[in-house]
Chain A
């Protein structure tokens, strides 16, 4: 059963990869790797959107799994036809790795072992996840799985905590339970592991395109060895998938400015939509990413927004339908009475100092990861290199942080309690993207160890 659950998620990843390859048929190894790790989000994300729409339009539930399988086969056929039509007859050439490549490979394997073992050691201690996991995401999955067609009628009844929270995680769990015919506790754990590995791979493959494979390996090692990563993953919160989609959206927008491939903007739009399909914090990120794409188009005197919006369309459609039946979120419900908190400067001070303390202590190392990374970045002085429009990454991080600041400024809850229960997770949303930004600026290990290094 557990192996079957793994296979179902792997099939979704392959489906996502094929979708990406169909739309962006680049065959170099770096592009293929990026598409594979994009497949985690594309496959699980699009599948959850389709499942939601299937439920919304009251189509027969037992048929959905077969429809998904047919779509997978169809994607495979289309990719095969596409490859044949390009006259591609040679298999992909894989060059034997150099000694340094082998060394980095070993280091990456060690880092992955550390991340996966830490994840499993924690996840098996808390098989239902930590409170928000069973109280929000997994209970939502149980209602979707158990109530079936009745589920949409139950949502407005406020039957569980925060039924307004988006559905990517819950639907992915519920759908696999439906296929298996049983609500296995291990399924949410497997999904969490899939997203953790997806996040690590996405960071590495995106850095490989922006810099090279060794910089990708370095990024993956840094992120995998941060205790907060397997910790948050094993908690089964939706924060790690959200960090994945934040990274994906911003990285794809940025990589477009390097590769000039407009199809990447379509994926960026889809990923942006999936941020809000994962957690409500994605709603502000959609606005930030859309504005960024618009400004990018203005700077290039091209209508780039049409590609982005084409990708955003499907998730946005599902989000609008979903929000039309959910109860109002408690933060928005109290917005009018909390407006005056804007003028409370002591509140601003409390929030800013808490955020600064969190950045400095974030990660779970005995020493500050932020300080270590900053020192590393500063000491690589004189060797910064910038490709493409890196301001996109800065804008995404800074604007989303401002949005989080605003949430704490206006929260109707006690701000200290609210921050104690959420600030670490909010910072985590942007951490992989921050590592991506920093390493995109710095020389890679390959450049540093090159014989002609200066």
Chain B
């Protein structure tokens, strides 16, 4: 009789523990719920930054270059952050192919808080003739112009 009662108690305890922890976890998530969280999500923020790039590119463009602080000589940068932002750019601009480097005609520039004059001075040595358009939040669209 004792074992019958004990096993029944085990089942009840197991279910009770499961539901208790499950409900508690949901409650914790509800406590930190922010209706604006989806908009503040880093990927959503980066997508918004890349919108002007998409809007300003000619429709026939399938590949863009990518230059960032990690390409600029003498600039201190966090490698993980730079790699992360590159991947965010790849995601945001898909199905455009984003290639690191300056070979493409159209190039996305991600220069953070670098002064525009410094960026221009560097690009002058790198690209020759180009047009530089600042799109906000350190994002630039660079168009290599054929002379």
Contacts and interface: CB of A to CB of B under 8 A. Distances in A.
Interface of A: 107, 110-111, 114-115, 117-118, 121-122, 124-128, 131, 134-135, 138-139, 142-143, 145-147, 150-151, 154, 157, 159-161, 218, 221-222, 224-227, 364-366, 372, 376, 379-380, 382-383, 443, 445, 448-449, 453-454
B22 A111 contact: yes
Interface of B: 3-4, 6-8, 10-11, 14-15, 17-19, 21-23, 25-26, 29-30, 33-34, 37-38, 41, 43-44, 47, 62, 84, 87-88, 90-91, 94-95, 97-98
Given A114-B26, A157-B97, A376 B10 contact: yes
Contacts of B94: 139, 142-143, 146, 160
A134 B62 CA distance: 20
A124 B29 contact: no
B4 A227 contact: no
Contacts of A224: 22
A147 B4 CA distance: 64
Contacts of B6: 379
Contacts of A146: 94-95
A213 to B, nearest CB: 14
Contacts of B26: 114, 117-118, 121
Given A118-B26, A150-B62, A454-B4, 11 more contacts: A114-B22, A117-B30, A121-B26, A128-B43, A134-B43, A142-B95, A161-B90, A221-B19, A383-B7, A448-B8, A449-B11
A121 B22 contact: no
A121 B19 contact: no
Contacts of A445: 11
A368 to B, nearest CB: 12
B10 A218 contact: no
Classify the interface of chain A: helix, strand, loop or mixed.
helix
B95 A134 contact: no
B29 A118 contact: yes
Contacts of A138: 91
B14 A218 contact: yes
A84 to B, nearest CB: 43
B64 to A, nearest CB: 11
Given A124-B37, A161-B87, A449-B11, A222 B18 contact: yes
A77 to B, nearest CB: 38
A443 B21 CA distance: 24
24 contacts: A107-B15, A107-B19, A115-B22, A117-B30, A121-B33, A128-B41, A128-B43, A139-B91, A142-B94, A142-B95, A143-B94, A143-B95, A146-B94, A154-B95, A218-B11, A225-B22, A225-B23, A226-B18, A227-B21, A376-B14, A379-B7, A379-B10, A449-B8, A453-B4
Nearest to B43: A128
**Which of B4, B29, B87, B94 has the most chain A CB atoms inside 10 A of its CB?**
B94
A453 B4 CA distance: 7
Nearest to B13: A376
B7 A111 contact: no
Nearest to B39: A127
A380 B97 contact: no
Contact of A364 (B8, B25, B34, B43): B25
A364 B26 CA distance: 12
Contacts of B34: 125
A226 B26 CA distance: 11
Contacts of B38: 124-127
Given A139-B94, A453-B4, A227 B22 contact: yes
A222 B26 CA distance: 15
A122 B26 CA distance: 10
Given A121-B26, A121-B30, A127 B18 contact: no
A127 B41 contact: yes
